[in-house]
Amino acid sequence: MSQATESDERLLIEAAQKDPSRFAELYEQNFHRVYAYVARRVRDRAETQDLTAHVFQQALANLGKFKWRGTPFVAWLYRIASNAIADQARRKVREVNDQPNPVTEASAPTDIEQVERRALLFQAVETLPEDQRRVIVLRFAEEKSIREIAGELQRSEGAIKQLQFRGLENLRNRLSEN
Amino acid sequence: MAERSIIDQLDDAVSALLAKPAVEWPVEDPVVASLVGVAEELRGLPREDFRAQLRSAFAERDTMSTPKMKVDRIPQNFPAVSARLVFDDASAAIEFYKQAFGAEEIMRLTERSGKIGHAEIRIADSVIMLSDEYPEHGAVSPKTLGGSPLKMHLYVDDVDQLAERAVAAGASIVRPIADQFYGDRSGQISDPFGYTWIIASHKEEVSQEEMQRRLWAWEEKQPQEKDPQKHGRPEGFHSVTPYITVQQPGELIDFLTKAFGAEEKFRTTGSAGGMHAEVKIGDSMVMVGGAPHIPAMPTAIHLYVPDVDDTYRRALDAGATSLMEPADQPYGERSGGVEDLAGNRWYIATPFVPLTEIAKDLRTVTVYFHPIGAQRFIDFLTNAFGASELMRHEGNEMIMHAKVQIGDSVIELGEARFPSQPLPTAIYLFVDDVDARYEQALKAGGISMQPPTDQDYGDRNAWIKDPFDNVWYIAAPKAVQ
């Protein structure tokens, strides 16, 4: 993170501490990274969404306690996420005793680089040309089949496959630019 | 197995990946392999609605917990009142306004189907909100309603330039740009979506008293120009009168009398040495003329009568041949057709509702054109004579039927579909200003047959042939010239 954005972030946190309406900006800036972090640990989509929501709710509730010490805000969010995932895993273990020990898995060192890369990828989707973006979102976020997407967008299946190809190609190129 | 394209190979791998993430799908092509890598990372892409809902959950909480938070009750850059227009194709409308008026798109919210639920555009300093149709919520477009009672008013620096730009983008001129008594130079255009725009540039500061004075002065001039009785247009005539030219006009008048109860009002020798006669059928005047040495111009007429079956029978008795026996038509009338001895075609009809309910100025004798290129014909009428389209019915990508208002008359037309149909005809057209209309008709593509001339029978008229071979006698009684 550059000096400029670091001090921007500090100002934003201080602003949000005084006026919670500014929290939405922190949320926008960090959403993809928190989501990617959680998604990496938790496979299930509903669970990923619950945990992501939980992380931001916790962050908002405890924002007043956050002290700026030069580490990025997202590191604090990752810690909240890590604790939340571990708590959830422990609860599950108590519920179902014969599962392998997920606590170990959840507390394993997280490969932050992978998470950041994935967050960048999620963000990059938003910069795709509109028709490619819609196909990628419907395919990977809504998990629809090519046929369903073709029906929804009133295009041929061949056209949808081609947009999927171009979209993935663009995303690959954008990732390699970063 | 035929080799699959890399696009299909990629989709095979993506489908496998989404269905069974644990099983690795063999991919040989290195390009496809690299893209499958991206696809793996994309698995679990957050849903947009989840992200938006979570954000709004914070937003709601914020508003409740922080009364100090400043939300502009009237959003910045919004006037208090904005028009909210409904379109049959909102996306196309946004494009049109960009091209025609230099509008700037502020935002649009689309359903997944692509339907626009809400959009905002800015034209100069004003905001217009718009959407596609939602009839279930009372949001319907002028196309569905068949018109709009709302007119938009747009001030610009250079109204002439704007009109040109709007027409190039697909608008049509309803009232030409002209200097107005209240100090504006303005005119009206109709956009392709059924909204009328008054476009104007302010040219002169005029006090309210002066405006009032000019309005009264203008009013005083109006009745003489507008009322056909006062300006001497012959009694019973409206803007459009068919001029049926045949080689035996006397014979035709006999037929019209027997078949349609025509009343002869006037007969003389015409300027070309043939007969000129005027007959009344129902509430309409028809001019009949010609001579053996003058080429005939048979005409098609939609003849609205009280009893189609009776009239049809009388027409056959008077010597016509049947084109079609009377039958109920899905378009709201019972109609049949005959051709008289001179080749004129009479589409005899009794509509299911009173004529004036179909169109205010629809009368017994309604000229029916069969141009090749109906849209161009309508454009010609609009540009040459200030006509306006009242309705159209399209099918097979052509105009099957349309009604067009010219002055205080209505004409009908349908794209020519049979070799016998183009049937170019002649029309005697009463206008307010022969010279101006003549010039306009030439600009619209008409060919001059005779420039404006004072005739000794009391009219000043000019003759032009339109690009569809119809002849228009543009006329006004000399008294008002």
Contact A137 B8 (CB under 8 A): no
At residue A173, the pLDDT reads: 93
pLDDT digits (tens, 9 = 90+) for A68-84: 777 788 888 988 998 88
Tokens of residue A143, six digits: 């998990």
Chain A interface includes B18 (CB < 8 A): yes
Chain B closest-CA separation from residue A2 CA (Å): 26
Tokens of residue B134, six digits: 């939602």
Place of tokens 């009694």: B235
Secondary structure (3-state) at A82: helix
Q: Are B177 and B201 in contact (CB under 8 A)?
A: no
Chain B residues lying within 8 Å of A122, measured CB to CB: 42, 45-46
Identity of the residue in B14, B34, B59 whose CB atom sits nearest the CB atom of A164: B14
At residue B28, the pLDDT reads: 82
Walk across the sheet containing B172-179 and list its strands: B151-155, B196-202, B184-190, B172-179
Identity of the residue in A52, A53, A152 whose CB atom sits nearest the CB atom of B112: A152
Give me chain A's average pLDDT, please: 83
At residue B137, the pLDDT reads: 85
Mutate to test the interface with B, among A165, A169, A171 (most CBs of B within 10 A): A165
Chain A residues lying within 8 Å of B9, measured CB to CB: none
- Give the residues across from B151 on adjacent strands: B196
Chain B closest-CA separation from residue A6 CA (Å): 23
Q: How many CB atoms lie within 10 A of CB B465?
A: 16
For each successive 10 residues of chain B (481 residues), what is the average pLDDT? 79 88 79 91 90 79 42 68 94 95 90 90 91 91 88 93 92 85 91 94 88 84 49 77 91 93 84 82 91 86 92 93 89 89 92 82 92 92 92 84 92 83 88 91 92 85 92 83 40
At residue B226, the pLDDT reads: 43
Chain B closest-CA separation from residue A24 CA (Å): 7
Q: Which residue of B has its CA nearest to A58?
A: B58
Place of tokens 């909240």: A80
Chain A interface includes B73 (CB < 8 A): no
Secondary structure string (H, E, C) spanning B361-392: CCCCEEEEECCCCHHHHHHHHHHHHCCEEEEE
Determine the angle formed by the axes of helices A157-177 and A146-153, rounding to 10 degrees. 100
Contact A161 B10 (CB under 8 A): yes
Mutate to test the interface with A, among B12, B17, B58 (most CBs of A within 10 A): B58
Single-letter amino acid code for the residue at B200? A
Identity of the residue in A23, A140, A165 whose CB atom sits nearest the CB atom of B43: A140
The runs of H, that is alpha helices, within A1-156 are 3-18, 23-41, 45-61, 73-95, 102-107, 112-125, 130-136, 146-153
Chain B closest-CA separation from residue A39 CA (Å): 7
Model confidence at A96, in pLDDT bands (50, 70, 90)?
low
- Give the residues across from B201 on adjacent strands: B185
Residue A2, pLDDT above cutoff 50: no
Chain A residues lying within 8 Å of B64, measured CB to CB: none
Chain A residues lying within 8 Å of B7, measured CB to CB: 158, 161-162, 164-165
Tokens of residue B273, six digits: 């040495």
Total residue length of chain B: 481
At residue A106, the pLDDT reads: 41
Tokens of residue B412, six digits: 């009908």
| C-alpha neighbours within 13 Å on the C-beta side of residue A72 | 17
Query: What residues contact B223, with CB distance under 8 A and at least 6 apart?
Result: B230
At residue A123, the pLDDT reads: 92
At residue A35, the pLDDT reads: 94
Contact B41 A121 (CB under 8 A): yes
Chain A residues lying within 8 Å of B38, measured CB to CB: 121, 168, 171-172, 175
Residue A41, pLDDT above cutoff 80: yes
At residue B165, the pLDDT reads: 92
Tokens of residue A102, six digits: 């997920």
**Range with the lowest mean pLDDT among A55-64, A89-98, B102-111, B155-164?**
A89-98
Model confidence at A107, in pLDDT bands (50, 70, 90)?
very low
Chain A closest-CA separation from residue B71 CA (Å): 10
Query: Among B245, B248, B250, B254, which Cα is nearest to B292's?
Result: B248
Query: Among B426, B133, B123, which Cα is nearest to B274's?
Result: B426
Query: Among A16, A117, A160, which Cα is nearest to B38's?
Result: A117
By CB atoms closer than 10 A (0-12, 13-18, 19+), residue A43 is exposed
Contact B11 A164 (CB under 8 A): yes
Ramachandran region, residue B94 (left: φ > 0; alpha: ψ -120 to 50; beta: rest): alpha
Which residue would you say has higher pLDDT here, A108 or B75? B75
Tokens of residue B129, six digits: 């909100």
Query: Among A142, A141, A128, A138, which Cα is nearest to A161's?
Result: A138
Single-letter amino acid code for the residue at B438? Y
Chain A closest-CA separation from residue B101 CA (Å): 25
| For chain A, percent of residues with pLDDT exceeding 90 | 42
Residue A39, pLDDT above cutoff 70: yes
Tokens of residue B80, six digits: 């208090």
At residue A92, the pLDDT reads: 67
Q: Which residue of A has its CA nearest to B15?
A: A145
pLDDT digits (tens, 9 = 90+) for A158-172: 999 999 999 999 999
C-alpha B67, offset from chain centre: 54
At residue B71, the pLDDT reads: 53
pTM of the model: 0.42
- Which 46-65 residues of chain B touch chain A by CB within 8 A? 46-48, 50-51, 54-55, 57-59, 61-63, 65
Chain B residues lying within 8 Å of A120, measured CB to CB: none
Contact B63 A52 (CB under 8 A): no
- CB contacts < 8 A, A to B, total 112
Query: Among A38, A77, A32, which Cα is nearest to A56's?
Result: A77
